[in-house]
């Protein structure tokens, strides 16, 4: 039987695992958190919802990273609006490519 710090660490891991399991059960799933994070950028969320999101971030780093990415993209767009406005759509399809797509779609609708 092992006595000492290793035993304490195992007990702590067990307790942390139980707390994480409880948090996972008590917070909304990731797909709901993603929607809530996006909504929270558009308008203020109720306090309870914000708390659930924060608790979810304690057990899910992927959702927290998603929020950080959204915040980064939003701040970049606000800092450089001149680069977004007034540009020609350079990634758009050529007139020939659009016409080919229209023909394919018409053929599939006819079938």
Q: Are 59 and 24 in contact (CB under 8 A)?
A: yes
User: Which pair of structure tokens corresponds to residue 108?
Assistant: 């599939």
> What per-residue confidence (pLDDT) applies to 87?
57
**Number of neighbours of residue 33 by Cβ within 10 angstroms:** 22
pLDDT in tens, 49-82: 999 999 899 888 999 999 999 999 999 888 877 7
Q: Tens of pLDDT along 16-37?
A: 678 777 877 888 899 999 999 9
Q: In this model, does residue 94 exceed pLDDT 90?
A: no
Kindly state the helix (H) or strand (E) to which residue 83 belongs, with its residue range: none
């Amino acid at each position: 039987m092992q006595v000492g710090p290793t035993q304490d660490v195992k007990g702590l891991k067990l307790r942390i695992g139980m707390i994480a399991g409880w948090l996972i059960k008590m917070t909304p799933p990731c797909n709901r958190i993603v929607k809530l994070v996006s909504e929270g950028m558009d308008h203020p969320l109720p306090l309870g919802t914000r708390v659930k999101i924060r608790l979810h971030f304690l057990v899910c780093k992927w959702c927290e990273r998603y929020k950080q990415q959204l915040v980064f993209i939003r701040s970049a767009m606000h800092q450089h609006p001149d680069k977004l406005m007034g540009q020609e759509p350079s990634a758009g399809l050529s007139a020939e490519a659009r016409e080919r797509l229209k023909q394919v779609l018409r053929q599939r609708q006819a079938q």
